[in-house]
Amino acid sequence: MAKLKNLEKLKEMVYTCLRCGSCRDLWDPKENVFGTCPIREHTGGFDVYFMRGKLMLARKALEGVIEPNPDMARYIYLCSTCGNCEAHCRISQTSPGKVDREKTKLDQIRIIEAFRADLVDLGLALPRHKAFADSIAKNHNPYGEPHEARLAWMPQGFEIPKGDPEMIYFVGCTSAYRRTELARATVDVLGKAGVAFRIMHPDEWCCGSPLLRTGQRGLAEEVARHNVDAIRRSGIGTVVTSCAGCYRTLKQDYRELFGDLGFEVKHISEVVNDLIEEGRLKLRRPLAIRATYHDPCHLGRHCDYYEPPRALIAKLEGVEFVEMPRTRSGAWCCGSGGGVKSAFGDLATEIATDRLKEAKEVGAEYLLSCCPFCKHNFLDAKRAMGSDLEIYDLIELVSQAT
């Protein structure tokens, strides 16, 4: 039997699944959950497409009943690691909708990532994932873009406020190369508030999130080590990011890899809330929109980060805020995480259409999020559907309002 050394370490967890099926299609209004697994809803829906079946597959692979094979890898990679199953699993949750990773007996995302790491070791990584890993090794970003162009988004003539840097702005690859409007909005807002910050170019490399989520752990640790060393060398105690994926990775994965980091990690929405409250950032331009907010999985369920974006939206004058039914820990994933967007692009777009429909159903004109990856996928869905919904990252709205 092929060795599944990472999965073997989590064997007890794998066997703790009762196969009750909460990961299939749970409806529980108390937890804002109406359906659990977006992959299941947009595929043939066999058990192996959602967590119960994946854990059964893991169990049988551990028992040697079935050998790891390319089709098995495909099923294990057909998971956006959104964590909706984990947050509402009757075993893993330590309170409704909240998973305490220190205490839980069943951490589905950890199991999937371990399984993927074994599949990578066995040469069963998906070609698209190997391709972005190669790009990260060569260019320090997954998009095949030259590292030298990482700051090409910077507005001409923009000057970072003078003074000792209060924080590092960790831009992230998607904001640096694909959704550059987020990076521009972020520096615009920080600039308007007079925040002296630093961008770690050329020392900022991919945070490693795409690698960690797809089981490519060796290179992930390498880039993580590089970034941590660079941040520590700077002597700056706060890192702010406008990307949910970078946030989860810097805040949780880096700590798991290296222990105490010696710096704190903040999301831009938290920072902006503080800047407004401290009177450093003025809201000068009222908006006149009806908006809803999509909790990115990496911020919400992965980091229990639900309130700061909503608090920030509440501060924006002229924004009529409406919640979608599936919100906070029950938020329906945009479909792009966990390597799904790169390996199964059409599926990711199809899943994102669910969210756009949901936003329209509550009468929203704007669908806001706090993640460039979510925005990217929502824009693909908007094009596919021909929707008139406006897709914005929250920091862009703040930039317009200030």
Question: CA geometry: angle at 354 spanning 348 and 356, to 5°?
Answer: 105
Question: CA geometry: angle at 288 spanning 183 and 272, to 5°?
Answer: 35
Amino acid at 291: A
| Residue 53 is a binding residue for another protein (CB under 8 A) | yes
Q: Report CA torsion sign: 64, 65, 70, 73.
A: negative
Binding mask 65-84 for another protein (x = CB under 8 A): xx--x-xx--x---------
Whole-number Å distance between alpha carbons of 7 and 66: 14
Whole-number Å distance between alpha carbons of 13 and 5: 14
**4, 37, 57, 364: residue in contact with another protein (rule CB under 8 A):** 57
Contact (CB, 8 A) for 193 and 279: no
CB of 298 to another protein, least distance (A): 26
Identity of the residue, 63 or 148, whose beta carbon is nearer to another protein in the bound complex = 63
Place of tokens 């371990």: 114
**3, 5, 9, 60: residue in contact with another protein (rule CB under 8 A):** 60
CB of 243 to another protein, least distance (A): 34
| Residue 390 is a binding residue for another protein (CB under 8 A) | no
Identity of the residue, 48 or 397, whose beta carbon is nearer to another protein in the bound complex = 48
**Which residues from 19-38 bind another protein, rule CB under 8 A?**
19-22, 24-29, 34
Binding mask 105-134 for another protein (x = CB under 8 A): x-----------------------------
**15, 123, 149, 256: residue in contact with another protein (rule CB under 8 A):** 15
Contact (CB, 8 A) for 399 and 275: no
| Residue 41 is a binding residue for another protein (CB under 8 A) | no
E strand or H helix at 367, and its extent?
Answer: strand 366-369
CB of 342 to another protein, least distance (A): 22
Contact (CB, 8 A) for 292 and 323: yes
**1, 3, 9, 18: residue in contact with another protein (rule CB under 8 A):** 18
